[in-house]
Amino acid sequence: MLLPGHDADAVQAAARGLADGELLGLPTETVYGLAARADRDEAVAKIFAAKGRPSDHPLIVHVLDAAGAEPFADHLPAAARRLMEAFWPGPLTVIVPRARGVASSAAGGQATVALRAPAHPVARAVLAAALELGVLGVAAPSANRFGRVSPTRAAHVVEEFGPGLLVLDGGACEVGIESSIVDCSRERPALLRPGLIGRARIEAALGEPLVAPDAQAPKASGTLAAHYAPAARLRLLDADRLALLLATGAASAGLEGVAVYSRAQPPAGLAWKWQAQPGDPAAAAHELFAVLRALDAAGAREIWVEAPPRDPAWDGVRDRLSRAAAAFTE
């Protein structure tokens, strides 16, 4: 059932459902989450079952603020505190040592826990109402089946899970890609997943450089080589290669069902479907998953995506596209 997220009664109903251990489609500023209370393992088990996600892949626990993070953390390392102060509420997740016996399913059995305070007003209203009912935090991975494109509109969540799931409609997600994840549980903070908040801003807030994730970092959904994939085969191509493929494909009439997502001007009458890619990384992130879903829905056989510029501002978008393309490497 789809309910308006800005309606106070809908928020109350959603919070009551969470308190009772039910699942909820929850809008956040990054993507829509499939939410359950993080402080009950039986509730979290429903997320893994609905998504078809391996239960050892840890989830992000959503809280209102740094004080709300404390019950889940063994302690908050200085790096985590700095990042919370700089970017919360917002699209940045910190990984910290987990409090013993708390949220072990949400953490996929790890000794650490991932925490984020979302900025979306509907998410915040739900977290506050649920907290009143004793819900300490809400685990909410993207509301899609394992490995598929993340939802950035309420209708996408209904597409994924059908009308049986209560979904709050909070509009189109402003950021559009998942949060940046920084592991603060080790000696030096490491960037596990790039997002809209880029490396430079994170390092400025930390006052130290981020290191590469070490080999002990758990292999988890958001960091798998192949993820975020549409049904159509996605190919990530440099501008020159894309132009060449279009020219030769046109010559051999091999472009049937090929959609192109590019910053270039469409060559006259060439591809079956041409989608203009924004030149700005925030705009590109905002629409990325909705575009992939729309091209799937239009029946694309292949999606040829012009590779984003090498600029670090594009790291988040480039990361999602590389993983989507990796699902189809021959």
For Mg ion, which is the closer residue by CB, 86 or 224? 224
- Select from 181, 210, 202 the least CA-distant residue to 193: 181
Of 137, 222, 230, 281, which lies in the binding site for ligand AMP, with binding defined by CB under 6 A? 222
Q: Could you say which of 93, 142, 185, 262 contacts Mg ion (CB under 5 A)?
A: 142
* Span interacting with ligand AMP, options 212-220, 230-238, 270-278, 319-327, rule CB under 6 A: 212-220
- 57 lies in the site for ligand AMP, by CB under 6 A: yes
H-helix or E-strand spanning residue 204: helix 199-206
- The structure tokens 């609905």 sit at 50
Residue 282 to residue 265: CA distance in whole angstroms: 21
Q: Of these, 39, 160, 169, 178, which contacts ligand AMP (CB under 6 A)?
A: 178
Containing H/E element for 233?
A: strand 233-237
Question: How many Å apart are CA 224 and CA 226, to the nearest integer?
Answer: 5
Dump strand ranges (E) for the chain.
2-4, 24-26, 33-37, 60-62, 92-97, 112-116, 138-139, 167-169, 180-183, 190-193, 233-237, 258-262, 273-276, 302-306
Residue range at the interface with ligand AMP (CB under 6 A); choices 19-27, 54-62, 127-135, 310-318:
54-62
Binding ligand AMP by CB under 6 A: which of 19, 23, 59, 126?
A: 59
Hey, which residues between 114 and 133 contact ligand AMP (CB under 6 A)? 114
Q: Is 218 in the site for ligand AMP (CB under 6 A)?
A: yes
Shortest distance in whole angstroms from residue 141 CB to Mg ion = 5
- Our finding on whether 113 is near ligand AMP (CB under 6 A) is yes
Positions that interact with Mg ion (CB under 5 A): 142
